[in-house]
A = this chain, B = another copy of it.
């Protein structure tokens, strides 16, 4: 069967490339309002593409960007029901000047495809859809029933889909949920993902005056919001690298020796940290890198902006300073609870007289999957056939915020798969993927469906 698949891919290579590059051309940046039209245009393209794969497909409107829904239930009610999740939205592209080719014109260099979304998640959900096209083309239909739920707000909090889950519950019903948004273990070794950290994001602003102030005229008088923000943010960590927020670790159980052993991969982490130029390590003292990255929660400052930090100088005391924080959470932590604790901590330490605003976004809890589910077995085996190597079982330090809730709504076992690599520069300039990996993904999904 694998040979027939590889032959089909060979015969359809030009068409696959054309479709993939078309998909990558949409500026489907979900977090920035001015791209709303392009996000929708991208969703419509996905509907058409699913239809070309023989699926019934449509847009499901939400409180945010639309969800693309597709289904082919022709295998019959006695066959398993698989729900496949991915997203067609992408991260912002700034700093634009660091891109070597335009982020929305897919460009091949050195055997790689450079574009925003090349991997995350357009590249990955694309090969999953393409696998359906191949199965239909070769067998006239699918071996099992398949539903696609492809959302447009994964990179900005999945609010729309989260809101829609209750009313979509019946249609979501499935035996298994395959999340196609993860990395392989390394270039040569496949992996299935058995869990990811949860997430909670917060925006913090400090306001000290009605407008920016001259730093000479007001220096020694006004409390500078930049200083107050630095003091607040620094107070979030203790000298051991732990988060100092009261109650932050409530509900977190210590990792077992078995977890540390089976998910530990410090050598790999050190290798890819070196490739990324990282020489300063910031995790909790006394924990291994894997432990800090996979089994422990963290709090990161994703953005700070206050005053003028461009070229030259502007000697102001800014009226306002903002910071963006995100936590990665582990099982046992409730996102809202953690968010409120951080907000309370910051408000309690804000200098008297300074205005502080803390906005909490909707969070998502961490999740862990069942190692022995049918889906875990099928995808594991399929990836081993494709890669000819034992499949690793891994956790992710990152988050796919909606999937825990989605699995609960669908009543499904969950497994994550993917052929991303940590060196793909997702979320950063010059994100890239390549055709050999896209092909592996396509084969793994197709073979996995047969094995279910």
Contacts and interface: CB of A to CB of B under 8 A. Distances in A.
A164 to B, nearest CB: 20
Contacts of A310: 32, 92, 303
B216 A397 contact: yes
A426 B31 CA distance: 35
B233 A226 contact: yes
A278 B323 contact: no
Contacts of A277: 208-211, 319
Nearest to A307: B303
Contact of A303 (B220, B226, B422, B425): B226
B280 A223 contact: yes
Contacts of A324: 307-309, 313-314
Contacts of A107: none
Interface stretch (A38-46, A347-355, A442-450): A347-355
A304 interface: yes
A282 B313 contact: no
A98 to B, nearest CB: 7
Copy tally for this chain in the complex stands at 2
What is the size category of the interface that chain A forms with chain B? 35 or more
A318 to B, nearest CB: 8
Contacts of A426: 214
Contact of A300 (B33, B210, B219, B300): B219
A302 to B, nearest CB: 5
Nearest to A156: B312
A290 to B, nearest CB: 9
A328 B280 CA distance: 33
Interface string A332-358: 000000000000000000011110000
A305 interface: yes
Contact of A398 (B216, B235, B304, B397): B216
Interface stretch (A15-23, A66-74, A172-180, A427-435): A427-435
Contacts of A230: 229-234, 301, 304
Interface in A275-331: 276-284, 287, 289, 292-294, 296, 298, 300-319, 321-324, 326, 328
Given A223-B282, A304-B321, 18 more contacts: A208-B278, A211-B276, A214-B428, A216-B398, A218-B276, A218-B397, A219-B328, A220-B282, A220-B296, A222-B278, A223-B280, A227-B236, A230-B301, A277-B319, A302-B315, A302-B318, A303-B307, A304-B304
Interface of A: 30-33, 91-92, 94, 98, 156-157, 196-197, 199, 201, 208-224, 226-237, 269, 273, 276-284, 287, 289, 292-294, 296, 298, 300-319, 321-324, 326, 328, 351-354, 361, 396-399, 422, 425-430
